[in-house]
Amino acid sequence: ETGVTQTPRHLVMGMTNKKSLKCEQHLGHNAMYWYKQSAKKPLELMFVYNFKEQTENNSVPSRFSPECPNSSHLFLHLHTLQPEDSALYLCASSQNTGGTDTQYFGPGTRLTVL
Amino acid sequence: AQSVTQPDIHITVSEGASLELRCNYSYGATPYLFWYVQSPGQGLQLLLKYFSGDTLVQGIKGFEAEFKRSQSSFNLRKPSVHWSDAAEYFCAMTNTNAGKSTFGDGTTLTVKP
């Protein structure tokens, strides 16, 4: 499999549930990203990892907990979410985190919080 | 602070007509600029990018964009639109230091038969 894959593609959860989103990149990149895409809002960067180390946390609530065990895998652990957290969560990767490094996006996980 | 503005929320064009999607940026230096396309239920796909050099860049699917420093713009163009081009288009920039990306709000393109 090539590119950036995300599972699951759709997720419905209650506010008391705990779930995880998974992202895997097969491009040999060193950097991985989580974005949130809500309706009628610009793409919001949530977290950046470079060589497994978190380099950016864009003031994301603690109910979102990222994990990057290696440069190919990125997880987003979810707990005690709110309905306003319903959105498309996109994962991306790039060779490094330089300005010229193109980001390659996965298809996203459509999350609905009831 | 850096910012990207896409003035048009929604554009409708007829199939075969030309297309121009506008993008303006705000940044103290020359940024790195990108255009992405997102089809429904999909992630973002890179159409083209500009780092330096020739200000007219060619991308995939017959798209091109022109960087105009004097207007702080990076407009996307296509001479003849196909029905399959209907999607949402995002302009983005990264600064030359940290590489943090800023995306515009997107422009939704509808193509009339």
* pLDDT tens-digit map of B62-81: 999 999 999 999 999 999 99
Length of chain B: 113
- B9 touching A (Cβ < 8 Å): no
Instruction: Report whether B85 contacts B99 (CB < 8 A).
Output: no
Phi, psi of B61 (to 5 degrees): 60, 25
SS3 content of chain A, % helix, strand, coil (to 5): 5, 55, 40
The CA distance from A99 to the nearest CA of chain B, in Å, is: 4
Band of the pLDDT at B31, cuts 50, 70, 90?
confident
Average pLDDT over residues B21-31: 90
- B98 touching A (Cβ < 8 Å): yes
Test B41 with A101 for CB contact under 8 angstroms: no
The CA distance from A105 to the nearest CA of chain B, in Å, is: 6
At position B12, the amino acid (one-letter code) is: T
* Cis status of the peptide bond prior to B31, with omega within 30 of 0: no
pLDDT value, residue B96: 67
Average predicted confidence (pLDDT) for chain A: 92
* pLDDT of A1 strictly over 60: no
* pLDDT of B87 strictly over 70: yes
Average pLDDT over residues B19-25: 97
Residue of B nearest to A95 (CA): B99
Cβ-in-10-Å burial (0-12, 13-18, 19+) of A83 comes to: exposed
Tell me how far apart the alpha carbons of residues A58 and A48 are, in angstroms, rounded to a whole number.
9
Out of A42, A48, A105, the one facing B44 most closely (by C-beta) is A105
Q: Which of B57, B100, B102, B105 to mutate: most A Cβ within 10 Å?
A: B100
Average predicted confidence (pLDDT) for chain B: 92
The CA distance from B79 to the nearest CA of chain A, in Å, is: 25
Instruction: Report whether B85 contacts B39 (CB < 8 A).
Output: no
At position A6, the amino acid (one-letter code) is: Q
pLDDT value, residue B86: 97
pLDDT value, residue A106: 95
pLDDT value, residue A57: 87
Reported as type and span, the H/E element at residue B49 is: strand B44-50
* pLDDT of B30 strictly over 80: no
Q: Compute the radius of gyration of chain B from its Cα atoms.
A: 13
B chain contacts of residue A101, beta-carbon cutoff 8 Å: 99
Test A99 with B90 for CB contact under 8 angstroms: no
Tell me how far apart the alpha carbons of residues B32 and A9 are, in angstroms, rounded to a whole number.
31
Out of B32, B44, B45, the one facing A99 most closely (by C-beta) is B32
pLDDT value, residue B98: 62
Tell me how far apart the alpha carbons of residues A93 and A28 are, in angstroms, rounded to a whole number.
9
Coil/strand/helix, residue B7: coil
pLDDT value, residue A46: 95
Tell me how far apart the alpha carbons of residues B105 and B91 are, in angstroms, rounded to a whole number.
8
